[in-house]
Structure 1
């Protein structure tokens, strides 16, 4: 081998060594090994059909995210998009309750997964259950004045609530709400139902079958109607009922307008006053026509029955106050011919008799057709209502009629 050829081979070997050294430098110094965190990578749940077939639902987490740390050459790491990282969790085989679910992470070529945080997902599963609930009818707003809602009807009266056990069990009641603002006619409408918890907040994530119900509600008239007491029996001998006061005096009722317009008063069931001798308050029941009822069923009417003893009393009347009627205008009565006093005996309730005075009594004589001379005439007495005249002494008086000068 000549010297020139030998030098050429040496140059080639040196060149290769230099190239290797340069490549190693570039790889290790210019494009070194590095790591990078990729936070918020969404975990894809696979085999979700299994949950449906097993009657299960994911309660939490509905959407899981993790942080992935990748290692590799800087150029490879920098070229990675978070969407290039595949994170999966297989739902197959898990049961109701809290499960520890394994995460599978697949990284792009030329890089490796250095760490995953968290390494596991606490998966809570609930069984799908169905419960039947009665639908309650609620109202909002006020009807037009003089009107009030009657008892509503819901069709169907029950609905089925389906969903995860936790949510279905949190349902306290199912309601539908009818709007009454300024309403004065009967209501027939279709309304949605709502499932509420014990804080009156709507429960989400459940199914309702059906979603709507038909509501039929009559709109009734209202009226204040006086109460009239009915009695049966008689007080104890020597006693009298002087007054019956109703509390309340009238009550507000509701019913069909065509019925209410003809009602002037409502009677009580017969109140037993047999042998009563003292005043008392008696609870009473009101007799309502068919289709009429109290607006407020908490009202408990009372009859205040006032009872007094019957007494007699003598009262002297001054004849100077005696009135004469139908006397011929030609004549006058000689007042000096009259007796000074007339005594009457009256009977009635003790309170009225004790309060009775001469000023409360009117007494007179009818002198129709009488001529001049002395006559015997009757004395007529007018008393207050419920006071009885027992006797007048004297029943007749002598008086003299004279010509008027």
Structure 2
């Protein structure tokens, strides 16, 4: 190659370089490279499942993001979206402990024309806790009311406990599990799969824990109801002198529920028989209710109060003076009976009101003449609340004679 040709090549190369420098100068003047901070750039967590091997777990609902300092042409930064960055934090290999830990964030894929200034010092906080589990009992949460005239029994839940696992601090807040079931307007038995919700002591929902199983089966019997009267049953015989006047239950009726076919054919609810053979006073006793199979009390009554009213009967002996009336003026009475023996029976409270001075026994001698007569004793003042058991005597024999006149002379 001759000297002239070499010079031409060198000149051409210099021209290209000069043009490139000139282009870069113009370009930088129109679109200068600037530095900017991109806030809240999302970070993807890698190998989270390795925490379980160390009995650890991430606290749920954490927002993983970081601020990036980037350098790029102004036009590029202007249109830059934080979602374009691919940032990752790999949890494998870190000696994490319960609480807050700092892990390194790496740029997984670069964006052309954009450089991350602080890529070597990107750190992010992650909150972890001990991975724990326990079993909690499941109760039903009833929503709504069954149809009018029907009642719901207690629920049967299967399984009646669930296993929960997750951060220890969340686990410690859980006091129970609830499976809500809607019974609105139900008139037939309910059988539903219901989602389990975890609650704290204030019945607030706790999330962020795994539940197994997540759904449980809830069965509730829906039964027909109505009011039935109480039928008091007794056994034995009242003691002599005592009469059972009445037995009255309180309450007089109760509300029961059960299978429709059974409820429709029941007229009353019986009590267990009450033994009256030892009852001598009015009293109130507890009596167990006999519930037919398939029927139960809506308000869970198992007993009722039974008021037993009695009357006690006895007898009383009285000695009543006999009053002889209307004897003729010229007649005199001989061999008369002075008193009447009276035995009366009745309720003790009524007998106590009767005394000898309130009764009167009389023999009317009107129209009787001399001679022997059998007369009837008239008894008055006996109230109709008692009965005369015996009267001795009922009739008496009397003798009436004429008075003897005594005369004399007193001659002075």
TM over 0.5: yes
Deviation larger for 189-198 or 224-233: 224-233
| Counterpart in the other structure of 2:408 | none
| Counterpart in the other structure of 2:346 | 347
> d(CA) in 2 for partners of 1:61 and 1:52?
18
TM-score, scaled to structure 2:
0.59
> d(CA) in 1 for partners of 2:156 and 2:259?
17
Shift of 1:221: 2.7
Q: 1:242-253 residue pairs with structure 2 within 5 A? A: 242-253=245-256
Question: How far does the alpha carbon of each residue in 1:219-262 deviate from its partner, in whole angstroms, 9 at most, with x for none?
Answer: 32323232314254645x65544333211112222223333333
- 1:270 pairs with 2:273: yes
> d(CA) in 1 for partners of 2:66 and 2:137?
44
Shift of 1:64: 1.7
Which of 192, 199, 203 is matched with 1:197 structurally? 199
Structure 2 portions without partners, runs of 5+? 1-18, 318-341, 355-375, 377-382, 396-412
Q: 1:84-95 residue pairs with structure 2 within 5 A? A: 85-94=85-94, 95=96
1:148–1:254 CA contact under 8 A, matched in 2: yes
2:178–2:199 CA contact under 8 A, matched in 1: no
- 1:97 pairs with 2:105: no
Deviation larger for 249-258 or 345-354: 345-354
Deviation larger for 90-99 or 70-79: 70-79
| Counterpart in the other structure of 1:36 | 36
Deviation larger for 35-44 or 258-267: 258-267
> d(CA) in 2 for partners of 1:121 and 1:61?
15
TM-score, scaled to structure 1:
0.60
**Counterparts in 2 of 1:274 and 1:185: CA distance versus 1, 3 Å:** same
Structure 1 portions without partners, runs of 5+? 1-18, 315-342, 356-375, 377-382, 398-405
Q: RMSD of the alignment, in Å? A: 4.7
| Counterpart in the other structure of 1:64 | 64
Tell me which structure has the larger Cα radius of gyration: 2
Q: How many residues align?
A: 323
**Counterparts in 2 of 1:96 and 1:25: CA distance versus 1, 3 Å:** closer
> d(CA) in 1 for partners of 2:207 and 2:302?
41
1:347–1:353 CA contact under 8 A, matched in 2: no
Which of 293, 297, 305 is matched with 1:294 structurally? 297
Which of 176, 182, 185 is matched with 1:173 structurally? 176
SS class of match (2:38): strand
**Counterparts in 2 of 1:287 and 1:135: CA distance versus 1, 3 Å:** same
